[in-house]
Amino acid sequence: MKTRSRLFFVLNLLAFSTISITTNAQQLRDAFRKVSQSVVIVRTKRVEVAASADQPMSIVDGLGSGVLISNDGRVLTAAHVVQTADVASVEFANGEEIVARVIGSDVQSDVALLQLEHVPQGVAPAKLGDSDKMEVGDEVFVIGAPYGIGQTLSVGHLSGRHRLNNSNAPSVEFLQTDAAVNRGNSGGPMFDIDGNVIGIVSTMMTQSGGSEGLAFVTTSNTAKRLLLEQRPFWSGIDGLLITGDLAKALNLPQAAGFLVTRVAEGSISSRLGIQPGTLRATIQGIDILLGGDVILRINDIDILAPAVDPVSGSTSDENYEKIYQSLSSLKPGATLVVTVFREGKVLKLTTTV
């Protein structure tokens, strides 16, 4: 009798487990079908400085993913995918490719907002979820275009939460996941099991070059705060914060500045006339572009070196946050003034927002 009872218990346990797995798989399939049409491939092009003076400039193609979040054609993606793109477009699951315009980007949190010319008929936007409700261990899934292979699904769990602490501003938060993420997934959405967007894929840590189960995703609440709840802003520049000996070597008139290496066509920086780098160089083992403007001040805010906490040794991004908030608060018609150091002279560049 005891043997029969144990066998009955085991059979019931196996049946229950099978039902649970089947139910979970069905829920995942239903969620994928509901949201997959909102996920897009993001393609970009930018002009790249030649490797040497005797070579012509080249056109560099970029690849990423994104997700449609509104009926009027707004798409969330990663900032590093589009920050210095001269041209951008998105491709939907039906193969339709639509021109996109960058309207907001925050490089610190690595999220950006695109505006499409139109939305394909019958495509519904995905719903942004509340990332604060997610807990470590929750099941999640990612849809994107790893290596350009669109509509690829990977499944995993929320592995951790990480904040960029800043005492004077709300924190930027990243979610860690073991869902497979590869090149081309950047900017793609991470969903909860109900199909709500709870993050935008930012980066992965890897030694092999492929997925190793250690990926990081900007939370949906961070994206909402920076790009949807205030006026989005796109600088369109990439570069390097220079301080110390390098600042002295470039004869900067102040202790720190932002060396501009690239400027995206159509961005507010290109309208200001900010000049990008033209000369490739390696300084202290870092490959950079020299010859571009060094930004000293934006409106009345000086570029400062990051403050270092004497106890923890961590650096503060308070200066960056202050500048971003100032730019986002500019109203249409307001004047933007950027002070730059160019060829030994301090210049003021202005444009109307």
Condensed to tens digits (0 to 9), the pLDDT of residues 299-328 reads 989 998 877 666 555 566 778 888 888 888
Domain boundary among 230, 257, 291: 230
Residue 179 has pLDDT above 90, yes or no: yes
- Grade residue 6 by pLDDT with cuts at 50, 70 and 90: low
pLDDT averaged over every residue in the chain = 88
Confidence bin at 284 (pLDDT 50/70/90): confident
Tens digit of pLDDT for each residue in 20-44? Answer: 556 677 889 999 999 999 999 999 9
Question: Do 24 and 169 belong to one domain?
Answer: yes
pLDDT given for residue 120 in this prediction: 95
Looking at the annotation, which residues are catalytic? 80, 110, 186
Asked if 16 and 69 sit in the same domain, the reply is yes
At residue 178 the predicted structure's pLDDT band, cuts being 50, 70 and 90, is: very high
Alpha carbon distances (Å) from 149 to 42, 208, 290: 12, 20, 36
Taking the C-alpha atoms of residue 240 and residue 227, their distance in angstroms, rounded to an integer, is 23
Q: Which of 196, 230, 264 is the last residue of a domain?
A: 230
Among 208, 230, 252, the domain-final residue is 230
**Domain count along the chain:** 2
Range in 2-6, 148-152, 347-351 with the lowest mean pLDDT: 2-6
Which of 253, 340, 342 minimizes the C-alpha distance to 350? 340
Tell me, yes or no, whether 144 and 175 share the same domain: yes
Contacts of 60 (CB under 8 A, 6+ apart): 45, 46, 47, 48
- Same domain? For 260 and 342 the reply is yes
87 and 189 in a single domain? The answer is: yes
Per-residue pLDDT of 38-92, as tens digits, reads 999 999 999 887 766 666 678 899 999 999 999 999 999 999 999 999 999 999 9
pLDDT at residue number 331: 86
Q: Which domain holds residue 75?
A: 1-230
With 50 as the cut, is the pLDDT of residue 167 above it?
Answer: no
